[in-house]
Amino acid sequence: MNKNIIIVAGEPYSIFLELVFKSIKSKKIKKPFLLICSKKLLIAQMKKLKFNNKINTVDKNKIKNIKLLRDCINVLDVKFNFKKAFDKINHNSSKYIENCFSLGLDIVKNGKAKALINGPISKKHFLKKKYPGITEYLARKSGKKNNEVMLIYNNKLAVSPVTTHLPLQDVKKNITSKKIINNVTTINSFFINKLKKKPKFAITGLNPHCETVKIFSEEKRIILPAIKKLKKKNINISGPFPADTIFLKKNINKFDVVVGMYHDQVLTPIKTLYGFKAINVTLGLPFIRITPDHGPNNSMLGKNKSDPRSLIEAFKFLSRIRDN
């Protein structure tokens, strides 16, 4: 089962199960996967949305030797008490989501799966301010706190923020040369080992135009020393570049990865450029973790109008990754 894919459905009142149904119907998902969620909720939402996917129930006691079936939903059932197939997001689902993640993490930690895909969660209800995002939650649960690297990937361009889900007021004090070096070397190794490509990196500055009125700017004090050390490691990296011009077509075509200093500095441009054809990959964990690049979108729940392309892209991405 080590080449199979685990999917943790996440927030039960999100659009994610709808995307699973649509992705299977599109026939663009070629590999079998194991979906960890409430089977009862899955069936209830499937009926409401008028899908008719085949379901294969997986025995929790036989997970080590399970053979996943193609062209159906292989379900590892987790109990969830609910009254409506579609409802408002609330705190009652938190324990259910945690149980789903625990099962998924146990499977991938034991080398029984190639990767973990998770559906969206509600930060307000599930994370409860204990973690800034699900990226950090999974890093902590995997024993890799502060090693996580967020990569928003499209096969034409990928971006990565050195700091992840931090308020702007906390960004400056959390940028270090060490973090920049860890971020870039982790991505570089992933590209070489898994995607068979030596990437070209661009790195942004922190300040507008990479300039500041202060004597010692972050560009001179932190970013440039990191770039020099990375070049000594034979990593193809250039910068720092002003963030307001690096994404111009004539500039961006020269690079495979843009590393920025904070979340919106690089995620806003790539989402504008590629929309649902970009996926969120977490590197630095003992396994590859991917989440489609959308939230729970509770306002669209049950309307059967959501776009499954990001989930389909997640599977396409995994098909390109070497298993070694």
Per-residue model confidence as pLDDT tens digits over 283-315: 998 888 998 766 788 888 888 888 888 899 888
Q: Are residues 19 and 121 in the same domain?
A: yes
Contact (Cβ atoms closer than 8 angstroms) between residue 82 and residue 43: no
Q: Are residues 133 and 245 in the same domain?
A: no
d(CA 35, CA 25): 16
Q: DSSP state, 275? A: G
Q: Are residues 268 and 289 in the same domain?
A: no
d(CA 269, CA 257): 13
What pLDDT was estimated at residue 127?
Answer: 79
Q: Are residues 66 and 215 in the same domain?
A: no
Residues spanned by the domain of 142: 1-148+284-324
Which regions of the chain are under pLDDT 70?
A: 1-2, 293-294, 322-324
* CATH assignment at residue 251: 3.40.718.10
Number of structural domains in the chain: 2
Q: Are residues 289 and 197 in the same domain?
A: no
What pLDDT was estimated at residue 160?
Answer: 98
Q: Are residues 114 and 187 in the same domain?
A: no
Q: DSSP state, 146? A: T
Q: Are residues 234 and 301 in the same domain?
A: no
Q: Are residues 18 and 136 in the same domain?
A: yes
What count of other Cβ atoms lies within 10 Å of the Cβ of residue 324? 5
What pLDDT was estimated at residue 281?
Answer: 93
Contacts with 88 (C-beta within 8 Å, 6 or more apart), sequence order: 13, 298
What pLDDT was estimated at residue 1?
Answer: 45
pTM for the model? 0.88
Q: Are residues 183 and 107 in the same domain?
A: no
d(CA 224, CA 218): 9
Q: Are residues 11 and 155 in the same domain?
A: no
Contact (Cβ atoms closer than 8 angstroms) between residue 308 and residue 293: no
